[in-house]
Structures are given as C-alpha cells and as structure tokens.
C-alpha cells in the first residue's frame, strides 16, 4: 500500500496500553479504536466533540459502515459500557461535548 508518510499517523502501542491501563483500568481485552481516537483527541485538540458513540437498541456496538451479522456480539472484546460511562463523565465535566444518538 502506498501512502504519503506526511499524512499518516500511527499510534505507538505504548499509548494503546496507557489507555487500556489508565483510562479503562484493564477492563476488556483492549480499547476500541473509537475510544483510542477520543483519548488521543483529548491530548492534542483544544475542543473535542463525540458523535455516534454507543450501542444500538439491542446493546450491540457496530461500525457506522457495517451491518452486524451476529446480533449477540454486544461490545466484543471492548469494554463498551465502561468507555460509554467515561464519555458521559467527560461530558458532565465539560471536557468533551457528547452528542448522543437515539
């Protein structure tokens, strides 16, 4: 795959571990990419808004581009409920603006 190295950012695995240990207190197997992006944004941006984060009415988490085939997956390997509650807390503390879905 060809890419412009000046337009690509790769997260150091140490940052992923930091998020898993310090933010999520080792819950789940590893953080979701959405939560990693949120924490990274908090570190590098002046303002952070969160859109479309959370589970559907059945409690399943999916990617916005994909329809889940297995409706029993819930949050998979990610601690979705923990991530969601942290985002709610950050919103209450006015550190992010959380726009909840349906």
Residue 43 and residue 9: Cα distance in Å, rounded? 14
Choose among 12, 30, 10, 11: nearest CA to 20: 30
Q: Give the residue numbers annotated as catalytic, written as ranges.
A: 30, 78
Q: Measured between alpha carbons, how far is 18 from 92 in angstroms, rounded to an integer? A: 23
């Amino acid at each position: 795959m060809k890419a412009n190295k000046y337009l690509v950012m790769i997260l150091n695995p140490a940052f992923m571990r930091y998020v898993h240990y310090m933010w999520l207190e080792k819950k789940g197997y590893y953080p979701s990419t959405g939560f990693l992006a949120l924490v990274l944004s908090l570190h590098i941006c002046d303002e952070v808004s969160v859109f479309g984060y959370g589970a559907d009415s059945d409690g399943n988490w999916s990617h916005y581009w994909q329809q889940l085939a297995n409706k029993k997956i819930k949050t998979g390997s990610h601690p979705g409920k923990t991530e969601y509650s942290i985002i709610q807390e950050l919103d209450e503390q006015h550190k992010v603006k959380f726009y909840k879905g349906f």
